[in-house]
Amino acid sequence: PAPASPPCPPRTGDTSVLAGLYGPAEAKLSKELPDRAALEVLLRPKVGLPGVLERSREQQLRQTCEAVVLGVLHPRTAVTLVLQVLSDAGSLLSCCLNAACMGLLDAGLPLSALFCGVTCTLDADGSILLDPTTRQEQEARAVLSFAIRSGDRKVLMATTKGSCSVEEMQQCLAAAQRAADTIFQFYRDSLCRRYSKD
């Protein structure tokens, strides 16, 4: 039987995503990989059926998780991550990333590093705003989302919406890397709280 990690809902403001992680479990013959675990991510929107946008996000999340999960320790198994969007008030992708990482942590999967998601917006005069609401995202000139790895703060995933100059992108990246510290501290605090009760 596949151990299911208890769902954990991280919130970014009013955006919340529920993550459920199953695995490492037996994989279907068509999906199993001979030397590593096969990761699958399913993103379910709040309303409607998953469409092309969800598939694109699933691919980004999957490849981000694959970069940190030590899949070689569990060959021929399947790890499934199901993300259900409960409410969306902006910064959805980074909320999904944070949910995914906490799910991986909670399930006890072997990881080489942690990651966190940060979204930032650039408005018309070039000022950077972190963790925007839906309204701020719509009004911004550009919205950039990054997945930052713990430790060396390297970029695991990057997506941009709208256009910006190269310098602005580098500034946003630097701001995101600084903000990552706060999120990793939050991970630490949550885990301490969880394990101090047991």
Q: Find the helix packing angle between 92-107 and 52-68, rounded to 10°.
A: 40
Write the DSSP assignment of 117-151 as a string of letters: EEEEEE-TT--EEES--HHHHHHSSEEEEEEEETT
Q: Is 10 helix (H, G, I), strand (E, B) or coil?
A: coil
Of residues 11 and 95, the one with the C-beta less far from another protein: 95
Q: Find the helix packing angle between 92-107 and 166-197, rounded to 10°.
A: 40
Smallest gap from residue 198 Cβ to another protein (A): 32
* Candidate list 27, 65, 83, 102; residue touching another protein; CB under 8 A: 65
Binding mask 7-46 for another protein (x = CB under 8 A): ----------------------------------------
Residue in 2, 1, 37 with CA at minimum distance from that of residue 23: 2
Smallest gap from residue 192 Cβ to another protein (A): 26
Q: Does 58 participate in binding another protein (rule CB under 8 A)?
A: yes
Q: Does 74 participate in binding another protein (rule CB under 8 A)?
A: no
User: 54-88: string of b/e by CB count within 10 Å (b at 16+)?
Assistant: beebbebbbebbebbbebeebebbbbbbbbbbeeb
**Residues within window 78-107 making contact with another protein, judged by CB under 8 A:** none
Tokens of 88: 């969306």
Angle at 178 (CA atoms; ends 174, 183), nearest 5 degrees: 135
Binding mask 109-138 for another protein (x = CB under 8 A): ------------------------------
Binding mask 149-178 for another protein (x = CB under 8 A): x--x-xxxxxxxxxxxxx--xx--xx--x-
* Candidate list 6, 26, 53, 189; residue touching another protein; CB under 8 A: 53
Of residues 102 and 144, the one with the C-beta less far from another protein: 144
Q: Does 66 participate in binding another protein (rule CB under 8 A)?
A: yes
Rounded distance between C-alpha atoms, residue 124 and residue 142, angstroms: 9
Task: State the residues that interact with another protein by CB under 8 A.
Answer: 52-53, 55-56, 58-67, 144, 147, 149, 152, 154-166, 169-170, 173-174, 177
